[in-house]
Amino acid sequence: MSSRERILGRVRRALADVPADARPYEEAVAREYLREHGQRSVGETVDLLAENLADYRAIVHRTDEEELPLLIMRLLAQRGPQYVLVPPSLPPEWMSAADPTRVHDRAVSTPHELDRVESVVTGCAVAVAETGTIVLDGSPDQGRRRITLIPDHHICVVRVPDQVVSSVPEALERLDPARPLTWISGPSATSDIELDRVEGVHGPRTLEVVLLSGS
Amino acid sequence: MSGTFVGMPAFPRAAREAVGNTTLRGNLRHATHTIRDKRARAVAELDDWAALREAGKQIKDHTLRHLDRYLVQVEEAVTAAGGTVHWAADADEANDIVARLVEETGESEVVKVKSMATQEIGLNEALQARGIHAYETDLAELIVQLGKDRPSHILVPAIHRNRGEIRDIFRSEMGEWGRPAPENLTDTPAELAEAARLHLREKFLRAKVGISGANFVVAETGTLVVVESEGNGRMCLTLPETLISVVGIEKIVPRWQDLEVFLQTLPRSSTAERMNPYTSMWTGTTDEDGPRTFHLVLLDNGRTDTLADEVGRQALRCIRCSACLNVCPVYERAGGHAYGSVYPGPIGAILSPQLRGTGSEIDASLPYASSLCGACYEVCPVAIDIPEVLVHLRERVVQGGPAVRGGNRVVLRPAKGHAAERAAMRAAQWAFTRPGALRTGQRLASRTRRLHPRTLPGPGRAWSGTRDLPAVPAEPFRDWWQRTHGGKGGAK
Ligand code: SF4
């Protein structure tokens, strides 16, 4: 007997005492919890996102289409990187004023090569106000998962209010499980040493989130 | 389960040693109280917490009730998404599968993200025996591994180490494993974290094989979810060419939508955050992004035996948040090591004796490592009635009776007169006779409804005191114990 058959057989025998439960999944799970917490206007939801991002030590900026290139230039200049990683279809105008040399992540690039790049600029798939979370789904304006992991500085642009939802349930509804997803809430952190929070262990130690409103 | 803890002294002896260690006690107290208070605030932010908790319980119960169907669905979905599914009936089989998969890649090193399941099966030791080095990459796990130590907390495995000890371990051991610690390393947490970042980065960048567990597996989509803080999980899940995930069969949830419950309850219950820094979700393999080869190892290792137990099966709802540890007065005093398994605290006291059986002294004594105060049940985000299971397992230890072991029905002999019984008795005394351990938990009176005479441990004699309990439902267990056993034989 294969282990597959053995385990499935054990499961069935283990449940032999349980009365037949023909209730479909829909009836077995009462979803009496809220779709979102509290009532907010669209603007208030964006404010809450900004507040919660900052609460988890992301650096938040607000700007519009016109000012964005200058803001990105300034944020990069403050760190002074020589290279900046960009995903395949980041809107080119975002980087139009930036000084560092743009590097594209190619499939053949090795992690060691990417390790020489200090900053990365991406878009995002959705942002969750209640938790202060941005979610990346590997779309062409976000790139492979590794590009937002190896550099020490991540600038993520969120289109507000379009890409902002209130809650976790709303975010999951918008996301496609077939894509590789990364949920990011603040820079990486550890509390493993006497529960003192230290920001930045392996992921980018600086996370800057730019809330971009339509002009 | 693994041999890692074979030869562990029974709970009371191990606990007594722990209580004598003042560093450990101070660290534990500071840690558990800090997380406990923060958790209460994070939970209070959601006014639908009770409904989320109930939904979490129902989702898990429904999944367990139809686990055979959902297991097959997981297999189909993961396979369709480009992954390969393996089934492991026990620890040895799982270790063998993983070792073989690593050997097939030709590699002799793997990077690992913290996973209870791989600790449970003793994977690192099994790989070592076949010449494969497994590097733990979670900061706390790194501290534990470098210190040749055992984890003592689900979430903060090095909770028993303070910064000075960690610096000493880094200084003396890092060089043995790879990049040494900087010469002038101090004991500030930021510097220690930086040392770990540099030490591990070289391993991540060259790693060809990653090994993980998973917090959830979604049956309808085949998606795996790993919830973490440090980014070492993302490194292990995305940089290597081959990813092997070892996942207990109880980690399944039926639908994508179910994550909306657990992604709200897990971070708040475990790290007391609205959301943990990083959560990774992947479905099979993705072209040109992340590992090209993905293996999922579905692990039984005592879970189906646990499922066969009417009362005990609710332990399989556990999402390993560790909230129950942080509120447990016995854990606070005894520390994680006293539980003799990778699952410490209240959840360990009900899970280990079910996964491993109650044959050994340590496992027979675990159901007694509790004052039944009920705080664990109150904080549990999937509403596992830990005191109910503890009482049930005590009955099992004392009276024996039918159970399932390794998939076979067996009749357990009562532990009467055996070493196991003595160990159990001492554990009970240990827990009940130290007011300090119990001061925080006085909600027992409301919980004695669970102690209906039908479920009481054992016929008269040694257990007569315990059997009288339901007659005095309004009296806290501790008072009752003090009154009936006052001053007798308790370890101080
Ligand atoms: S038993 Fe409940 S509280 Fe304890 S770790 Fe499991 S889910 Fe968390």
Q: Looking at the complex, does the CB of residue A111 fall below 8 Å from at least one CB of chain B?
A: yes
- Distance from CA of residue B106 to its chain's centroid? 32
Of B143 and B105, the structure prediction assigns the larger pLDDT to B105
Residues of B in contact with A145 (CB under 8 A): 234, 238, 280, 289-290
CB-based contact B143 A180, cutoff 8 Å: no
Q: Judge whether residue B466 has pLDDT over 60.
A: no
Q: Looking at the complex, does the CB of residue A6 fall below 8 Å from at least one CB of chain B?
A: yes
pLDDT for residue B432? 58
Ligand 1 centroid–CA A20 distance in Å is 28
Of B72 and B433, the structure prediction assigns the larger pLDDT to B72
**Which residue's C-alpha comes closest to atom 8 of ligand 1?**
B321
CB-based contact B204 A146, cutoff 8 Å: no
With respect to residue A10, please indicate whether it lies within any of the assigned structural domains. Answer: no
Model pLDDT for residues B356-378, shown as the tens digit of each residue: 988 888 888 899 888 889 999 99
Closest CA–CA distance from residue B471 to any residue of chain A (Å): 31
Pocket test for ligand 1, best of B373, B379, B380, B390 (most atoms within 8 A of CB): B380
pLDDT for residue B479? 43
Q: What average pLDDT does this structure show over A141-162?
A: 96
Q: Judge whether residue B486 has pLDDT over 50.
A: no
CB-based contact B30 A195, cutoff 8 Å: yes
With CA atoms as reference, the chain A residue closest to B154 would be: A192
Burial B475-492 (b: 16+ CB within 10 A, else e): ebbbebbbeeeeeeebee
Q: The domain spanning residue A79 has which CATH number?
A: 3.40.50.10420
With CA atoms as reference, the chain B residue closest to A171 would be: B260
CB-based contact A18 B51, cutoff 8 Å: no
Rounded Cα distance, B192 and B230, in Å: 14
Q: Looking at the complex, does the CB of residue A13 fall below 8 Å from at least one CB of chain B?
A: yes
Model pLDDT for residues B152-198, shown as the tens digit of each residue: 776 677 777 888 889 999 999 999 889 999 989 999 988 998 999 99
With respect to residue A205, please indicate whether it lies within any of the assigned structural domains. Answer: yes
**Which residue's C-alpha comes closest to atom 6 of ligand 1?**
B318
Model pLDDT for residues B139-150, shown as the tens digit of each residue: 888 888 898 887
Tokens for B321, please give them.
């948040």
Which of A182, A195, A201 is closest, CB to CB, to B193?
A201
Phi and psi torsions of A210, nearest 5°: -105, 115
Give A134-172 as a DSSP string: EEE---TTT--GGGGTSSSEEEEEEEETTTEESSHHHHH
pLDDT for residue B418? 63
Which of B72, B221, B277 is closest, CB to CB, to A189?
B277
Q: Looking at the complex, does the CB of residue B221 fall below 8 Å from at least one CB of chain A?
A: yes
Q: Judge whether residue B455 has pLDDT over 80.
A: no
Model pLDDT for residues A70-90, shown as the tens digit of each residue: 999 999 999 999 999 999 999
Closest CA–CA distance from residue B314 to any residue of chain A (Å): 13
Q: Judge whether residue B264 has pLDDT over 60.
A: yes
**Which residue's C-alpha comes closest to atom 3 of ligand 1?**
B380
Q: Judge whether residue B436 has pLDDT over 60.
A: no
CB-based contact B238 A146, cutoff 8 Å: yes
Place of tokens 């646990």: B306
Ligand 1 centroid–CA B143 distance in Å is 24
Domain count, chain A: 1
What pLDDT band is residue B33 in, cutting at 50, 70 and 90? Answer: confident
> Does an H or E element contain A199, and which?
strand A198-199
Q: What's chain A's Rg over C-alpha atoms?
A: 21
Q: What average pLDDT does this structure show over B472-480?
A: 36
ipTM: 0.96
Q: Looking at the complex, does the CB of residue A32 fall below 8 Å from at least one CB of chain B?
A: yes
Which of A3, A138, A193 is closest, CB to CB, to B87?
A3
Size of interface A-B (CB pairs under 8 A): 257
Structural domain range at position A130: 41-213
B313 vs A109, B213, B349, B380, B391, CA distance in Å? 48, 21, 14, 15, 14
Rounded Cα distance, B94 and B98, in Å: 6
Ligand 1 centroid–CA B316 distance in Å is 10
Phi and psi torsions of B78, nearest 5°: -65, -40
Which of A8, A145, A201 is closest, CB to CB, to B230?
A201
Model pLDDT for residues B374-383, shown as the tens digit of each residue: 999 999 999 9
pTM: 0.89
Q: Judge whether residue A2 has pLDDT over 50.
A: yes
With respect to residue A29, please indicate whether it lies within any of the assigned structural domains. Answer: no
CB-based contact B278 A180, cutoff 8 Å: no
**Which residue's C-alpha comes closest to atom 4 of ligand 1?**
B324
Q: Looking at the complex, does the CB of residue A39 fall below 8 Å from at least one CB of chain B?
A: no
B94 vs A144, B8, B46, B298, CA distance in Å? 31, 23, 39, 8
Closest CA–CA distance from residue B52 to any residue of chain A (Å): 6
